[in-house]
Amino acid sequence: MTGAEMIVQVLADEGVEIIFGYSGGAILPTYDAVFRFNDEHRNGASKDPLPLLVPANEQGAGFMAAGYARASGRVGVVLVTSGPGATNTVTPVRDCMADSVPIVVLCGQVPTAMIGSDAFQEAPVSAVMGPVAKHVFLVTDPFKLEATIRTAFEIARTGRPGPVVVDLPKDIQNWIGDFQGGGLLPAPGYRQRVEAVSSNRLAASDCKAFFALLGESQRPLIYAGGGVINANAAAALRRFAQQYRIPVTTTLMGIGAVDTTDPLAMQMLGMHGAAFANYAVEDCDFLIAVGSRFDDRVAAIPDRFAPRARRVAHFDIDPAEIGKVRKADWHHVGVLDRDLDALTAWGQRHHPPQDFSTWHAELAELKRRHAYGYDRDSALIQPYYVIEEINRHTQGEAIISTGVGQHQMWAAQYFDFRHPRLWLTSGSMGTMGFGLPAAIGAQIANPDRLVIDVDGDASLRMNLGEMETVTTYGLPIKVLVLNNFGDGMVKQWQKLFYKGRLSGSDKSLRRKDFVKAAQADGFGYAARLDRKADVPRMVKEFLEFRGPAFLEVIIDPDAGVYPMIGPGMAYDQMITGDYIPSRGSRPEPGAPSGTSMF
């Protein structure tokens, strides 16, 4: 086989279902090998066994692979050329690293003899990608090519998942040798670390110590993060929470770890979390962190986070997260679903469920008194109302992808999610332009499920070219744009903390006609919604349209995201806005600290 043929055969052996990528000179041998593989293995008129989905831009390919991986739990694959093809994937690679998403990026490179000569479309991929990827390989020995591709998949999916980049010089792709059909690169240190985690099972003494802490508690609270989703541990977490009737709040990345409609669900906590969730964190006496890392969006002031929690327990797969931000009184590093089930089983034998009914009643009252709220009498279309109306149809069963900004937070707050892997968003990196390509990847992974991209006018612009990708491949994605004519989250901060100086964020004079753009890209349904009375009818039309659909909604430009924990503030200083009751004095926004971020 040629090296390119070996690459393609390994992809097939790894069970790859689709490749997201854009071709170019340095990767042409592998693209040609994909074509020939499909031609040889296609049965009659059936679809290609290893289909290629071509985006408008390599960044789109990276986010499509990420959406595919997030929605399916499988490794997404990106195939791009050298130079700009590779560097256009830097942002998706970093995004996947930040949110622990497994993808493999295969990028072409100039021939090995030309590396370092500033050849046409050469980029120092190892140097560029090294700081932002889980691992980077540069293949210079063709005899190691086959094992390198397999090892890339192993590293991407094992341990704490993440992106792996393989740089493939053109001469390596053209090399001819014997295909071995097996084998991995030696990586003893990595495999030892993975094995140490996977073999670290909960001992009876560990379970006894955990339940001793739970036995002392009257107000326990589970704080679940994206690690629950990545570990496919949502079912195990739900069993544990139900067995002991422990309420659960989730991070932005942990949404879907528990059914948001379940009475035990306290929804999202943190900077823009539910007021009742944040008050629950304030009141709990035992905080159980599961697959979460006490990041700055949740615990901006670690010493004042969960101030009444006398004890903290922490489950994670990454030992580096234990004690990094908040000291844990009890911790375990291991395989999350297995360990939660082991804990539940031990408790069933040795620790009868406690009576937390008083705590449950307190939380129910918090939910009632401090629920999300907005101006329902406004003549302007409120974004919350639009999402509530969509949610009335989807009932927590749709895949929701988002860009980044106010619309992202409104979607997190007002949609229900009955299952994991229905919520796709760029959490740690906060990458605008994520929503549409991620929805494409999610729809490929789940062809029979409704997929909705909830986007903002500014965020959609970032990868607007992928609108055509949706229609080219006939994907029935629903694209919703909440248009407030600018960078809404930036404007909100400028209004709160910069005396309303809208520096660079007001796009009210921009001339983009999104509906015409959608029509030009082939959307059979493309409409603008600008009358509140039309919301129920047009939402129904939009969701029921068979095929790609686009709906632009002109929303109240002053609609804000509340609650909000401002820069340098703790949970007891939460700003709840005009329509969510606060249980304390309403803090006045001050100047942001020098270390503050969105």
- Give 218-251 pLDDT, tens digit per residue: 999 999 999 999 999 999 999 999 999 999 999 9
| Rounded-to-integer distance, Cα 62 and Cα 196, Å | 31
Superfamily (CATH H level) for 383-554: Thiamin diphosphate (ThDP)-binding fold, Pyr/PP domains (3.40.50.970)
Q: Which of 58, 122, 282, 466 is catalytic?
A: 58
Pairing of strands 330-333, 311-316: parallel
Q: In 203-266, which residue ranges form alpha helices assigned H by DSSP?
A: 204-215, 226-230, 234-244
Q: Which of 120, 327, 365, 597 is catalytic?
A: 120
Does residue 6 have an active-site annotation? no
* Residue 567 pLDDT exceeds 80: no
Q: Which two tokens stand for residue 17?
A: 């279902």
Does residue 367 have an active-site annotation? no
DSSP E strand boundaries for 431-581:
451-456, 478-483, 525-529, 549-554
Distances (CA, A) of 518 to 465, 515, 536: 10, 5, 22
* Residue 71 pLDDT exceeds 60: yes
Q: How many CB atoms lie within 10 A of CB 392?
A: 12
Does residue 170 have an active-site annotation? yes
Q: Which two tokens stand for residue 247?
A: 């309420």
User: Tell me, which fold does domain 200-369 have in CATH?
Assistant: Rossmann fold (3.40.50)
Per-residue confidence (pLDDT) for residue 584, from 0 to 100: 73
pLDDT digits over 153-164, tens only?
Answer: 999 999 999 999
Q: Which of 14, 17, 114, 121 is catalytic?
A: 121
Give the rounded percent of residues in the chain with a pLDDT score beyond 70: 97
Tell me what the pLDDT averaged over the chain comes to: 95
Per-residue confidence (pLDDT) for residue 594, from 0 to 100: 46
| Rounded-to-integer distance, Cα 345 and Cα 10, Å | 40
Average pLDDT over residues 265-287: 97
List, in order, residues 6 or more apart from 458 with CB less than 8 Å away: 403, 405, 432, 486, 487, 488, 507
Q: Which of 20, 37, 146, 170 is catalytic?
A: 170
pTM, entire model: 0.95
User: What are the residue ranges of CATH 3.40.50.1220 in the chain?
Assistant: 200-369
Q: Answer whether 365's CB lies under 8 Å from 283's CB.
A: no
* Residue 293 pLDDT exceeds 70: yes
User: What are the residue ranges of CATH 3.40.50.970 in the chain?
Assistant: 3-193, 383-554
Reported CATH class of domain 3-193: alpha beta
Q: Which of 489, 538, 569, 574 is catalytic?
A: 489
Q: Answer whether 94's CB lies under 8 Å from 65's CB.
A: no
Per-residue confidence (pLDDT) for residue 586, from 0 to 100: 54
| Rounded-to-integer distance, Cα 552 and Cα 455, Å | 9
Per-residue confidence (pLDDT) for residue 589, from 0 to 100: 55
Q: Answer whether 298's CB lies under 8 Å from 251's CB.
A: yes
